[in-house]
Every structure is written in structure tokens, then in C-alpha cells.
Structure 1
Amino acid sequence: MIIFFQIIFQRQIISVANSIMEEAVRDCIHNTAPQSMGIADLGCSSGPNALTVISKIINTIYTTYHDQTATSLPELRVSLNDLPGNDFNSLFNLLPEFYNKLQKEKGIGLEGCFVYGVAGSFYGRLFPRKTLHFVHSSSSLHWLSKTPPALDMKIGKHLNKGKIYISKTSPACVAEAYLFQFQKDFSTFLRSRAEETVARGGMLLSFMGRSSRDPSAEVGCHQWELLARALMSMALEGLVEEEKIDSLNAPYYAPCAEEVRNVIQEEGSFLINHLEAFEIGWDEDDKNGCGYHDYELEKSSRGQQVARTIRAVVEPMLESHFGREIMDELFIRYGKLVDDYFSKTRPKHINLVISVTRKD
């Protein structure tokens, strides 16, 4: 059930970026005219959505070549990347159906599309130089390579007491530490992809952000604020040690569009074609169709739906820090706080979509 809600939310994010991605793929083909085309999906995960984006990319390539060019479809070299702990076996088990669908719908056989798994962090090199023509990453780059080191305990005290992310009550140095780590990580990401991407190759990135320049703005932070409140309510009852809450800082950063633009321009390897912020509701339903029935959504309150989505993403981090035994109670409390929040507002996430081209 938890994974069900995560699947829906991920597909909403993918859907938002779809038209921009199609344009980016077409531009990449026109710019590079490859005979053998390298494609990479970074942070692919292993669930039912894992091959959704790749299918959309291949469909756009197929349509572009058949409708607008006289040349045959290039060989496709598809690399699926995630951290070594990803369940690549489950991902590979999806491939027979994927290949059957390609053959049936587009006549692309095993000799025309080669799929590989690449384990490793995208905050560093993953591929040989000049081998990629199009790079995609969705719902991944808001995760930092690590918690900002500047937030480690200083002079015997924690800097962000009672919080696990940037908050209105956080000292200014907390937001500064997060921004610095994002700038460092995103620059490393861009520099690595610049080495691996051919001249005039394309890249489409989609990740969580915020619309305000204020790093403590409610849109972008409040899901973490409510989680901290749920934890602190348990600390007041002796169910969690408050020091453990003080010592946890999420390795996450939701940048504003200006911060993203500044890093891309300063790194200097890519031209920005498109940079846009889209709103997505916290409890976005299955408007675009994910193959599930509405009764699944009707079983839970809106707050519980959001709690399940968030739990699917952050539980491994929280469990390793606090232990498994508090997880159920924590997300019950979190769901109630979200329900109360829904009674006062219609909360939105901001999803940033960025299309760039590798400079010559």
C-alpha cells in the first residue's frame, strides 16, 4: 500500500515534465544525429515506474525518426543508474516485458536496444567520455550526497535543535550550510555529465524545489516541519530521545529556480533551454491513470495518503537513526498533522524541470 501511493506521486512528476522531455529528445536528435545513441536514466529506482521514462524517451526517438527523418533508427544504448543498494534484480526482471512491447509496437528487437544497469552515485563519473547523447533524472537531485558537514555538532551543541531540515526557527547558518552543499553537489553532477555527454547532447532534470527565494518558505520545507513536530511530540512522551532528533539533518535540499540557474551558469558546460517550476498537490490523485482503482485512495484520509508517500521515501533514513519500532506510531502522528494542515490550506510541492544542452 505504501509503494502504491509513491508510484502515483512519481508518475505525476513524470507526467508534468513529459512535453518538455519530448522537445529535449527531439532537439538532441537534430543536434547530434547519432548512429548509436547513448541514453542514461539517473536515479532510476526499481519499481513499476523504473522503465516508464525510458519507454517515453524511446517512443519520442521512434516518432521523430519515422516522422521527420529519412534515416533508420539508431542503435539505443540505455543505462539505468542508481546507488548500489538499489534492487537491480527486480529492475532486470521487468526487461522481458519491456523488450516484448518494443518489438510488438515498434519493431525494435534486442539487436536495436541494449539495456544496462550502472550502480554508483551520480555525484561523480559513471560513464566513459563522450558516450551519452541524452541524460534524464527525475525525483533524485534534491537528495544531497551527504548531510551538510557544517551541521555536525559544534562546541558541544547541535545547530538545528528540534528540527530535521530548514525551518523558520533555524539559525541562518543552517540554510547557508544546506545551500553550500547543494551548490557543491550539483556542480559535481554537472561537471561529471559534461565529461560523459557528447557536444550538443541533451539533459532533462526534474526534482523538488521551491518557488520562493526564502529557503525556509513553507512550500519546500513544511513536509519536514510536520515530521519534526511528530517526532517532538513523541519525545515529550519519552518515546524518542530529543537528542536524536537534534542530531538528525535530512540530506535534502529544495532549491529555487535562481539557485539552480546560478550553479548551471557558473559551472559553464551547459546552455539552459528551459527552466520551469510546476505545482503538484501533496495528495495528487490518479488523474493521469496509473492502472489503479479509485477505491484504493478512498480507504485513507488525505493525511494518511501523504504519510504513506513520505514514509516510502524517508523510512530507511529514519529507521536507521531512530529504530524500526517507532515507525508506525510516527507516521500515524504525521498523518494526523497533515490532515490538520489540509484543513487550513491546499499544500503544494514545487517540481523544477530543467532542460539543458551540452555546449560545443
Structure 2
Amino acid sequence: MDVVNVLHMNAENRKCSYAENSTLQKTVILKARKVLEETIKDYGSHGFPQCFKLADLGCSSGPNSLFLIANIVDGVHAFCQKKNLKAPDEYQVFLNDLPNNDFNAVFKMTPQFYSNLENEIGPEKSEKCFICGVPGSFYKRLFPSDSLHFVHSSYSVHWLSQVPRELLDINKGNIYIPKVNPAGVYEAYFNQFTRDFTAFLHMRSEEMVSKGRMVLTLIGRSTADPACNNDCCHLYGLLAKSLHDMVAEGLIHEEDFNSFNLPIYTSCTDELKAIIESENSFTIDRLETFEVNCDTRDENEKIKSDESSGRFIANTIRAVMEPMLASHFGNTFMDKLFERYAMHVTEHLSREEPKYFNIVISLTKKCK
């Protein structure tokens, strides 16, 4: 998800939000690395193509944009060395995100990326890793038919192509699926996710070679019943509570609040499996889950407190959510909103610490 268009955040808050969101993303990438490595080994057991073509969908523009690519190239190189196999002669890397992503920021990081890669796999190999940007929605076609060998996406597929239209009339006073679920809210979100994820799978099946591999990591929920979900969705409810405060203080209009809903859906594993099986282009090789604390800082780095964790979590959410909030409500009260949000998160942490429930899936494209 593009987080670089937060144009009106003050410099200090922008720096903090990016850093803390980057910490979360890197933690998730590292937690999911075992599945990624096993998928590379499975693919490589049949040999790698001369030019290995891979895509990262929803790459964003932070420091982790190329970290994942380095992991994949390093993983391929290490596996080939261990098994005495011929490594690809070239790598073609496609970095995809929405057109308003700051691709220039990503490209400015490529010199350091190539320097690090040269240290890992040697100058000859690193010189033959070619990177380009591909702007566009991954719910549509992005690449030529039968062209990709490997697809990866981390923390992107849970974003919907649009807010379900039905929510405007049935989810007033909320911005996501509330604990007390008004009739039709869960169904509207689930139906939109089903359409989007089905389209995502179909588009990738057209673009990938037979037996091509795909690894997806997304935020999910640990229970089938969304009303019993105690994962990070609490954080969305606290954001709604903070917006309620802004309404009470006259900073935003109630009708504007009632018309705002998040374009996100946290699915459970059974839902994902059912959609994949119904779309029928891929087989599931691995499906694993793991949790990470919402405050992902190393315990040894700082002395944590509910207050410092509240600020950290608020900044993490701010980096992702502010572009949508500022677009809908304007940007004049963002600092105040997230100060209030940090207070609500801190108060919630005195009772329990929400966690991000993550799902990582490894898929193989079926032969035509």
C-alpha cells in the first residue's frame, strides 16, 4: 500500500511514522522468510530458467522495497550453490504498486541494493539483476501472458480495490466491521474481498508460467467469526473512536464520518482456502500463520511502557492510514487525531495488547 503521499504531515511525525511502519513490515518479512525459502527450494528442485523473472506486488517505497528482492536473489543463489545447480544467468525484477507510489524513491535505493548484492553473490551476478517499476492495480493485468516465474506480495492483498458500496447506508458510526455487527456489514466486506482476491488470482494465473510459484503474506484474523476477533481490528475500532472525538469537538462533520469506511478486509484461513479452490488456478503448497506484537520494537532496545507503545502503534497506523483520512476529511487536524488515537491505544494496552495475525501462503500455478 502506498504510504508516501502524506504530504502535509510535519517532518518529525512523517519520519517517525515511516520508521515504525517499516519496522513492522520488516518483522513480518523475516517471520515469513522460512516459507519463502522453502518455496524457492521447491521451485529450484526442477531447475531455474536462464532469466528468472519475478514480481513484488505492492512494493511501496520504503527501505523494505528492495530488502525482499535481495532475500529472493540471495535465496536462489544459496540454494544453487548448496545443490551444485546452475543459477540463473539474469534476474528480471518487476516492482509494482499504484501509480501514485514514489517509484523514484525506490530507484534511488538501487545503488546500495546492488552494492549489497555484489557482496553476497559477486559482481558478475549482481550486474545482471535488472529492476523496473510497474505502476497499476494488481486487481488488473500487469504483465504479458506466461511471463513470470515467481510472484511475491507482502501486506498488500488484504487491501480492497474499493470500499463496498453497500456500507454507506448500513455502517454509520463505524469505519470497519464492528464488534456488534450491523446486518450486512460483514457480508459486504467479505463479498468485495472474494471478488477482488478471485480477480487477483485469475490475473496472476494468466501472467505466470505453468508451475510458477507465488508467496503471499497478509493480515488476517484468527477466528472464523469476525465478531469474536481480538486481533488488530481493535486498532481500527480505536481509530473510529478517535474520529468520534473529532466529531464531538466540531473538527469534522458527522456526515463525513458516517461516509468513511476502510478498504481493507482481514480474512480467516478457511475463507482464503475456499476462494483459492474455487478460482482453481493454483494449488496450496503451504499455509502458515503467525502473530507479531503491534509494538514490534526489540525489548532490549528500549524500556517499553504502555504510553511509548501507544505512540509507536499510533505512528505505525498513521503511516498507512493518513493518506486515506486526509483525502476524505482534509489534513488540518491529523496531528490532533493521532495524538488522541495514541491515548486510546495506550488505554487499551493497559488491558490487553492486540497482535497482528498474519497468514502466509505458498501457491503453485496449475499446468494448463
CA distance in 2, matches of 1:345, 1:107: 48
> 1:80 and 2:95 equivalent?
yes
CA distance in 2, matches of 1:200, 1:45: 27
Aligned 8 A contact 2:293 2:356 in 1: yes
Matching residue's letter, 1:189 = F
Aligned 1:193-208 pairs, distance under 5 A: 193-208=204-219
- Name the stretch that deviates more: 110-119 or 239-248: 110-119
> 1:163 and 2:174 equivalent?
yes
CA distance in 2, matches of 1:304, 1:347: 14
CA distance in 1, matches of 2:310, 2:183: 30
CA displacement at 1:108 relative to structure 2: 4.4
Aligned 8 A contact 2:151 2:213 in 1: yes
Residue identity (%)? 45
Unmatched tracts of structure 2, length 5 or more: 1-15
Tell me which of 197, 203, 210 is aligned to 2:221: 210
CA distance in 1, matches of 2:80, 2:32: 22
3-state SS in 2 of match to 1:301: helix
Aligned 1:1-360 pairs, distance under 5 A: 1-31=16-46, 33-109=48-124, 111-152=127-168, 158-216=169-227, 217-286=229-298, 294=301, 301-360=308-367
Q: Taking structure 2 as the reference length, what is the TM-score of the superposition?
A: 0.91
Matching residue's letter, 1:308 = N
CA displacement at 1:300 relative to structure 2: 6.2
Distance 1:307 1:95, change over 3 A: same
Q: Taking structure 1 as the reference length, what is the TM-score of the superposition?
A: 0.93
Aligned 8 A contact 1:32 1:201 in 2: no
CA displacement at 1:30 relative to structure 2: 2.1
- Name the stretch that deviates more: 262-271 or 71-80: 71-80
- Name the stretch that deviates more: 87-96 or 31-40: 31-40
CA distance in 2, matches of 1:9, 1:51: 16
CA displacement at 1:297 relative to structure 2: 7.4
CA displacement at 1:226 relative to structure 2: 0.5
3-state SS in 2 of match to 1:39: strand
Unmatched tracts of structure 1, length 5 or more: 153-157, 288-292
- Name the stretch that deviates more: 218-227 or 18-27: 218-227
CA distance in 2, matches of 1:303, 1:118: 36
3-state SS in 1 of match to 2:260: coil
Q: May I ask how many residue pairs the two structures share in their alignment?
A: 350
CA displacement at 1:121 relative to structure 2: 0.6
CA distance in 2, matches of 1:296, 1:263: 43
Matching residue's letter, 1:61 = V
Aligned 8 A contact 2:282 2:364 in 1: yes
Aligned 8 A contact 2:175 2:240 in 1: yes
| Deviation string, structure 1 residues 234-291 (Cα, Å, up to 9, x no partner) | 212222211111100110000001111111000001010111221111112137xxxx
CA distance in 1, matches of 2:93, 2:117: 13
CA distance in 2, matches of 1:264, 1:69: 35
